[in-house]
Amino acid sequence: MNGEPNMVDERKSVVVTQKFFDGETIRFLEENGCDVTVARFPEGVTDATAGEAELIALLAEADAWIVGHAQVTLSLLQALPRLKIVARRGVGYEKVDLDAARQTGKVVTIAAGGNEESVADRTLALMLGVAHRLRESQQQLIDGPGAILLGHDLYARTVGIIGLGRIARNVVRRLKAFDATVLVHTPRPDPAYADAMGVEYVDLDTLLERADFVSLHAPFKPETKHLINAGRLALMKPDAFLINTGRGGLVDDRALLAALQEERLGGAGLDVFESEANPALADVTRELVRRPDVVATPHSGASTHEGLRRTNQVAARCVVSVLNDQEPPSGCLIVGHSRLRPVY
């Protein structure tokens, strides 16, 4: 691994509660003065579903925690006085109580730069899969006689991108190979980027009205909950496709289901669902994923061998840097202390 920080002064304890943590990254941590424990949960249990008492027991002697999707609360952090850093192996941090981290003096980092290529690939895969009706076509072959279904090109179509972070920019770069017209809605337009990439900044309603594909890459915040609701779905073309590899709560899934049922939308490619945060909507998710005009994956856009190795490595570099009181890699620091200044 390149750009390795200096070894910590004395051995530290790092606990990993995320699955698919590779041996190369474990060796990097060990070579940099860390003893690594990878938690083993029972079948069907993850750090997101483990109880707080179980997490506290695992982390009681930890100096650093590489976390997946656990809810990081004030009570949890207060019970872990030794813990110095919570390192997300991913880029979302909505499950971490940032005020609690500040109050308890913990550092919070994300694995910026680790997974955007993988999620961008998944975004294009969902666009192509739903537009070319791959799921329906395969089912035709399974059921026989294999009738030919007409789909839609991505080539030379208009694609609307909502949000312009790392993943979105990688999606835009890929779309240029399809000769797509790219519309972007973002609160912070960058004229130089528009000139370089040939994108057009537009307001949200205009994007929804003009786009053949709408792809969501905005962060999930209270103000972006249900950014795509019944009213905004009604603005979209009846043969347009909605793609969500961002966060489930960005879309009102009930409204999306109704739009598909009433044939007011061409289809959807979904890697995330509202039911991830609200289990009461599990029935809505089940209805969505059963539909022939939906191509769905289980929030696994970043879950490639290569992508997970990259995010593991970024999280590990964050841990070693912070344990040395050094700045973590660029763009990774969310909550710091007096010597570590966050970038967000």
pLDDT in tens, 27-43: 999 999 999 999 999 88
Dist. CA 174–CA 122, nearest whole Å: 11
pLDDT number for residue 146: 81
Percent of the chain exceeding pLDDT 90 equals 88
Residue 210 near residue 158, CB atoms below 8 Å: yes
Distances (CA, A) of 153 to 130, 157, 241, 242: 10, 7, 12, 15
Dist. CA 88–CA 66, nearest whole Å: 6
- Does 299 participate in catalysis according to the annotation? yes
Q: Report pTM.
A: 0.87
**Residue 248 burial by CB count (10 A; 0-12/13-18/19+): exposed, middle or buried?**
buried
**Closest alpha carbon to 249 in 285, 284, 215, 224:** 224
Tokens 């949200």 belong to residue: 204
pLDDT number for residue 5: 53
Question: CB-based contacts of 77: which residues, under 8 Å, 6+ apart?
Answer: 83, 86, 97, 100, 101, 103, 104, 106
pLDDT number for residue 94: 87
**Closest alpha carbon to 314 in 99, 18, 10, 37:** 18
In this prediction, residues 164-187 reach a mean pLDDT of 97
pLDDT number for residue 43: 87
pLDDT number for residue 77: 98
pLDDT number for residue 339: 58
* Length of the chain (residues): 344
Dist. CA 297–CA 84, nearest whole Å: 34
- Does 210 participate in catalysis according to the annotation? no
- Catalytic entry in 122, 166, 247, 317: 247
User: Token pair for residue 25?
Assistant: 């990254």
Going by pLDDT thresholds of 50, 70 and 90, the confidence category of residue 10 is confident
Going by pLDDT thresholds of 50, 70 and 90, the confidence category of residue 344 is very low
- Does the pLDDT at position 64 exceed 50? yes
Instruction: Catalogue all structural domains in the chain, each as residue range(s) with its CATH number.
Output: 12-114+305-335 (3.40.50.720), 116-296 (3.40.50.720)
From 98-107, 210-219, 228-237, 330-339, the region with the lowest mean pLDDT = 330-339
Going by pLDDT thresholds of 50, 70 and 90, the confidence category of residue 145 is confident
- Does the pLDDT at position 210 exceed 70? yes
Phi and psi angles of residue 107, each rounded to the nearest 5 degrees, phi first: -95, 140
- Does 276 participate in catalysis according to the annotation? yes
What is the tens place of the pLDDT at every residue in 237-271? Answer: 999 999 999 999 999 999 999 999 999 999 999 99
- Catalytic entry in 54, 200, 209, 276: 276
In this prediction, residues 67-90 reach a mean pLDDT of 96
The strand pairing partners of 333, in sequence order, are: 109
Residue 215 DSSP SS3 = strand
Cα 136 from chain centre: 27
pLDDT number for residue 283: 98
- Does the pLDDT at position 1 exceed 70? no
DSSP 177: G
- Catalytic entry in 135, 299, 309, 337: 299
Exposure class string for 144-180: b at 16+ Cβ within 10 A, else e: eeeeeeebbebeebbbbbbbbebbbbbbbeebeebeb
- Does the pLDDT at position 7 exceed 60? no
In this prediction, residues 287-296 reach a mean pLDDT of 98
Going by pLDDT thresholds of 50, 70 and 90, the confidence category of residue 92 is confident
In this prediction, residues 185-203 reach a mean pLDDT of 97
Phi and psi angles of residue 173, each rounded to the nearest 5 degrees, phi first: -60, -40
